[in-house]
């Protein structure tokens, strides 16, 4: 699960109401972190503790590390913890650790300066302490969030924060672990369950969430069982995009595929004989299991005419690239939009910087406002449902930062939506397509240098994961 600072505070408050004392909760959280720390025997450890609850966690970690044989020093630049439970833990920890008035070199540094409640930019003495931590060659372990990093969004983030090697995220992940500006500061993120009830609008997706049953075929099945889809796209100067999407749809297992393209693109039809072809201005009078529109399409009068046709169908509709406009936000059937940040900026009227700093909230609000499915692409792609809840893909594949990758995803989405009534999976077609896309990209990058991987290589890897 992924939580905001407010949701974390609510979870704490619920635990208190249910009878868990605050000092017990702090002990439980910090002890869980301490159990994950793998310090070498007899190592020296510097724990930097703030005055808030994060600092209280630091005092517990310091005590337990000392009890396990480490030489532990505590630096508390802002004095004693403000909370009574923090004070009690600090008083007990003093029996086992050495208090220092200035930060000192150590084999390991534990960052317990600020927690989820911090909002930047960092100023004053805290800025100096963070600067010192940034300059250390010793591994830095952060408790909950790296100090200086906001937990929810990055609109005020100036880049001055601890760069942790490992961050132990309490209760669940924080949104900033998946934002472009702040994710690099986390290092490796380890989620630490501290026994609180879980309730969040956002989930993380990992490889274990991919349903490999999608790769199976019924030995007694036939092409109609796997859906008949229509893909519409292409323009005079963008004739390759619809073919990338179409090939991806076929590799993902769609049973039948109609490809509607402009006359300029017909020269490439022989490269994909498995599809059935139509002129883009002569769509057949058929009801498809799903339709995708946009790869290589130009936003013009033709696009508007096509939209009037496809949006009236009650079946799933995937919208990408040139079809992503503010006029194309409503359809009779389930509607999935697949913008990258630049396209989403045009749809929302916001800047790319605004979107990247607060992706979760802006994407959630947009999907809820228009009642649509939204896939906001990026290093950590967001997959949002019409009710505003969603998931974030954690399978990173840098090879996808190349032209044509989005077209491949559109084709995969089409193939999965075309057989939604036949897919036996708890996850949505959108989540499965994003996961499959990323896994295929990883598979392709294992066959050649990542910089050399093309969208066509990703397509060929779809069936090899």
How far is Cα 288 from Cα 73, in angstroms, rounded to an integer? Answer: 67
pLDDT in tens, 293-333: 999 998 788 888 999 999 999 999 999 999 999 999 999 99
User: Binding site annotation covers 424?
Assistant: no
User: Binding site annotation covers 322?
Assistant: no
pLDDT in tens, 139-179: 999 999 999 999 999 999 999 999 999 999 999 999 999 99
pTM of model > 0.75: yes
User: Binding site annotation covers 119?
Assistant: yes
How far is Cα 18 from Cα 12, in angstroms, rounded to an integer? Answer: 10
Decide if 106 contacts 132 (C-beta within 8 A).
no
User: Binding site annotation covers 116?
Assistant: yes
- How buried is 401 (Cβ within 10 angstroms: 0-12 exposed, 13-18 middle, 19+ buried)? exposed
pLDDT of residue 117: 86
User: Binding site annotation covers 118?
Assistant: yes
- C-alpha pair distances (Å), 113 with each of 203, 398, 399, 418: 27, 32, 36, 51
Give all domains of the chain, ordered by start, each with its CATH number: 2-199 (3.40.50.10260), 208-464 (3.40.1190.20)
User: Which two tokens mark 285?
Assistant: 């009078």
pLDDT of residue 412: 98
User: Binding site annotation covers 121?
Assistant: yes
pLDDT of residue 424: 52
How far is Cα 49 from Cα 46, in angstroms, rounded to an integer? Answer: 10
pLDDT of residue 52: 94
User: Binding site annotation covers 296?
Assistant: yes
User: Binding site annotation covers 111?
Assistant: yes
User: Binding site annotation covers 381?
Assistant: yes
User: Binding site annotation covers 406?
Assistant: yes
User: Binding site annotation covers 339?
Assistant: no
User: Binding site annotation covers 430?
Assistant: no
User: Which two tokens mark 141?
Assistant: 């372990």
pLDDT of residue 119: 84
User: Binding site annotation covers 379?
Assistant: yes
**Res 246 pLDDT > 60:** yes
DSSP readout, 271-313?
G-TTSEEEETTS--S---SEEEE-TT--SSHHHHHHHHHHTTS
User: Binding site annotation covers 407?
Assistant: yes
pLDDT of residue 134: 97
pLDDT bracket for residue 426 (50, 70, 90): low
User: Binding site annotation covers 55?
Assistant: yes
pLDDT of residue 175: 98
User: Binding site annotation covers 57?
Assistant: yes
**Res 420 pLDDT > 80:** no
pLDDT-above-90 percentage for the chain: 81
Q: What is the mean pLDDT of residues 376-393?
A: 97
Residue in this structure with the two tokens 């990026």, named with its chain if needed = 378
Give the residue with greater pLDDT, 298 vs 361.
Answer: 361
pLDDT of residue 130: 97
**Res 284 pLDDT > 90:** no
pLDDT in tens, 429-462: 999 999 999 999 999 999 999 999 999 999 999 9
User: Binding site annotation covers 378?
Assistant: yes
């Amino acid at each position: 699960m992924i939580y905001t600072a407010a949701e974390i505070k609510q979870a704490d408050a619920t635990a208190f109401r249910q009878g868990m004392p605050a000092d017990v909760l702090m002990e439980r959280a910090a002890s869980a972190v301490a159990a994950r720390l793998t310090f070498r025997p007899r190592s020296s450890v510097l724990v930097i503790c703030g005055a808030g609850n994060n600092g209280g966690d630091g005092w517990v970690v310091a005590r337990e590390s000392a009890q396990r044989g480490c030489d532990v020093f505590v630096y508390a630049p802002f004095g004693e913890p403000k909370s009574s439970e923090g004070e009690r833990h600090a008083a007990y920890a003093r029996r086992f650790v050495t208090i220092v008035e200035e930060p000192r070199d150590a084999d390991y540094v534990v960052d317990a300066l600020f927690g989820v409640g911090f909002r930047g930019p960092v100023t004053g003495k805290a800025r100096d302490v963070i600067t010192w931590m940034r300059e250390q060659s010793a591994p830095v372990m952060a408790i909950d969030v790296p100090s200086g990093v906001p937990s929810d969004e990055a609109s005020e983030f100036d880049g001055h924060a601890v760069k942790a090697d490992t961050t132990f995220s309490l209760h669940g992940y924080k949104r900033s672990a998946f934002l472009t500006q702040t994710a690099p500061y986390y290092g490796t993120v380890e989620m630490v369950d501290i026994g609180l009830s879980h309730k969040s609008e956002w989930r993380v997706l990992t490889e274990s969430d991919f349903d490999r049953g999608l790769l199976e075929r019924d030995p007694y099945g036939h092409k109609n069982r796997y859906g008949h889809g229509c893909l519409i796209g292409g323009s005079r100067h963008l004739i390759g995009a619809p073919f990338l999407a179409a090939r991806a749809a076929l590799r993902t297992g769609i049973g039948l595929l109609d490809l509607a393209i402009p006359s300029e693109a017909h020269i490439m039809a022989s490269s994909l004989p498995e599809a059935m072809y139509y002129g883009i201005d002569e769509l057949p009078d058929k009801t498809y299991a799903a339709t995708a529109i946009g790869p290589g399409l130009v936003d013009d009068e033709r696009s508007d005419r096509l939209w009037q046709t496809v949006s009236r169908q009650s079946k799933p509709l995937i919208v990408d690239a040139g079809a992503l406009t503010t006029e194309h936000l409503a359809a009779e059937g389930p509607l999935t939009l697949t913008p990258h940040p630049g396209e989403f900026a045009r749809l929302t009227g916001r800047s790319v910087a605004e979107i990247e700093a607060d992706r979760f909230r802006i994407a959630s609000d947009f999907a809820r406002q228009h009642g649509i499915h939204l896939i906001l692409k990026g290093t950590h792609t967001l997959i949002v449902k019409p009710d505003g809840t969603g998931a974030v893909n954690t399978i990173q594949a840098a090879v996808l930062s190349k032209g044509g990758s989005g077209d491949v995803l559109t084709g995969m989405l089409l193939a999965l939506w075309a057989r939604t009534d036949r897919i036996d999976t708890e996850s949505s077609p959108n989540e499965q397509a994003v996961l499959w896309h990323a896994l295929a990209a990883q598979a392709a990058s294992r066959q050649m240098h990542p910089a050399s991987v093309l969208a066509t290589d990703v397509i060929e890897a779809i069936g090899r994961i």
